[in-house]
Amino acid sequence: MSDLIYLDNSATTFPKPEVVYDFMSDFYRKHGVNPGRSGFDAAIETEEIVHSTRKMLADLFNGDDPNRLTFSYNASDSLNMIIQGLAERGDHIITTFLEHNSVLRPLHHLQINGVAEITHIPFDENGYVNPDDFKKEMKSNTKMVVVNHSSNVIGTIQPLAEIGRICKEKGVIFVVDASQSAGAIHIDMKAMGIDVVVFTGHKCLMGPTGIGGSYVMENVPVKYTRFGGTGVRSAVKTHLEEFPYRLECGTLNIVGVAGLNAGVSWVNEQGMENLHKKEMALWTKLRDAFHQIEGVITYCANNNKDQNPVLCFNVKGFEAGDVGTMLDVDYNIATRTGLHCAPKVHEGIGTFDIHGTVRMSVGPFNTEDHINQAIAAVKEIASIRN
Ligand SMILES: Cc1ncc(COP(=O)(O)O)c(C=O)c1O
């Protein structure tokens, strides 16, 4: 069997850079103690890594205060904390058809519990939302707008700065799900008018699973929804208001933080733009080849600009799941099929009722040879029925 061709980098990037594995192992052996609780050397050094990782990520998003960069398990965890910590009874919230279930579901639960009314903005035939639609949908009780920066299904990158400007004009809180873009696409919270950015560590930031978080700008009234140990001011009966404690409780995933530190350092060394350019060149080759194969249908893959290297397709005459199985079993190519935790994207591209699409997503360790093999495999599969 040939080596695995991994084209499921939107699910999680794999493999990670060697420095990430090495640093995690070394760090946990030498500094695997509880940070922020004790005064011995190893605890202080661990706290230093935690703080420097907060700073590295705050800088990445152009946030001034590293303490406002809080850690959680992943993007879903932080999106729950942010959405539930901001929503109040009677609110109206605007989001999009591009969202992942980690946004759709917390919002849906607010709706069915009678807390908030939710409006979903559709995207156009190329996969982009129109900022004017947000303006049209805003009401006097609109509390927040939640937008997925880059779709995990079709890879399109949304016009955050324009949406941010509208939110600022209307005094509405702007929350961005940067799960697929942090570490790949430049995000400047100040220039783009973003109030909260949520990230996950295991995708383009090249860290491990089990670590994610958010950066919350000053004056964003997010309440804590969890209570517990913070390691400081233990006599206080309530949870602490100040950041980072407001959105963190209990012992941090320090080996995850260390891995994220090494991952972000690696991305910074390589240069985000360089990585993106290389991956987009491979994506373009794949997309252009698929456009030439009879019976292969791609979705929204019309641009090379404002696009991440994610390609969704179907092969006429086959269920997406069957194509994924053939790619896996016959060609050793890892993809993801189905609705990709983003059912409304599939409503938008018309693939909801046919059980979704096959998704190939390119990462930093893919090569031209991987793409050539993927093209040859899909060509063979398409030739069976066409
Ligand atoms: C756009 C988007 N948002 C949120 C998430 C959730 O990330 P996590 O599973 O790390 O919580 C994902 C994961 O695929 C995603 O693609």
350 CB-contact burial (10 Å; exposed 0-12 / middle 13-18 / buried 19+): exposed
For residue 187, which amino acid is it? Answer: I
The one-letter amino acid at 5: I
Ligand 1 environment, Cβ below 6 A: 74-76, 100, 102, 148, 152, 177, 179-180, 200, 212
Mean residue pLDDT across the chain: 97
| CA proximity to 356, closest of 342, 374, 373 | 342
Q: How large is the average pLDDT for residues 53-74?
A: 98
Share of the chain above pLDDT 70, in %: 99
Domain extents in the chain: 5-16+271-385, 18-269
Quote the ligand 1 centre to 180 CA distance (angstroms).
Answer: 7
Beta bridge partners of 314: 297
The residue written with tokens 């093209």 in the block is: 375
Atom of ligand 1 nearest to the CA of 152: 16
The tokens for 327 are 């790619």
pLDDT at 173: 98
User: Who contacts 274 (Cβ-Cβ below 8 Å, separation ≥6)?
Assistant: none
pLDDT of 386: 66
Domain boundaries 18-269, corresponding CATH code: 3.40.640.10
Å from CA of 178 to ligand 1 middle = 9
pTM over 0.95: yes
Residue 139 exposed, middle or buried by CB count within 10 Å (0-12, 13-18, 19+): exposed
Mean pLDDT score, 112-138:
98
Over residues 141-166, mean pLDDT? 98
Query: What is the rounded CA–CA span in Å between residue 23 and residue 18?
Result: 9
* Residue of 180, 197, 260 to test ligand 1 pocket, by largest number of atoms within 8 Å of CB: 180
Question: For the domain with range 5-16+271-385, which CATH number is right: 3.40.50.1220, 3.30.450.20, 3.40.50.720, 3.90.1150.10?
Answer: 3.90.1150.10
Task: Answer yes or no: is pLDDT of 36 > 80.
Answer: no
Instruction: Give the model's confidence band at 365: pLDDT under 50 very low, under 70 low, under 90 confident, else very high.
Output: very high
- pLDDT band at residue 370 using 50, 70 and 90 as cut-offs: very high
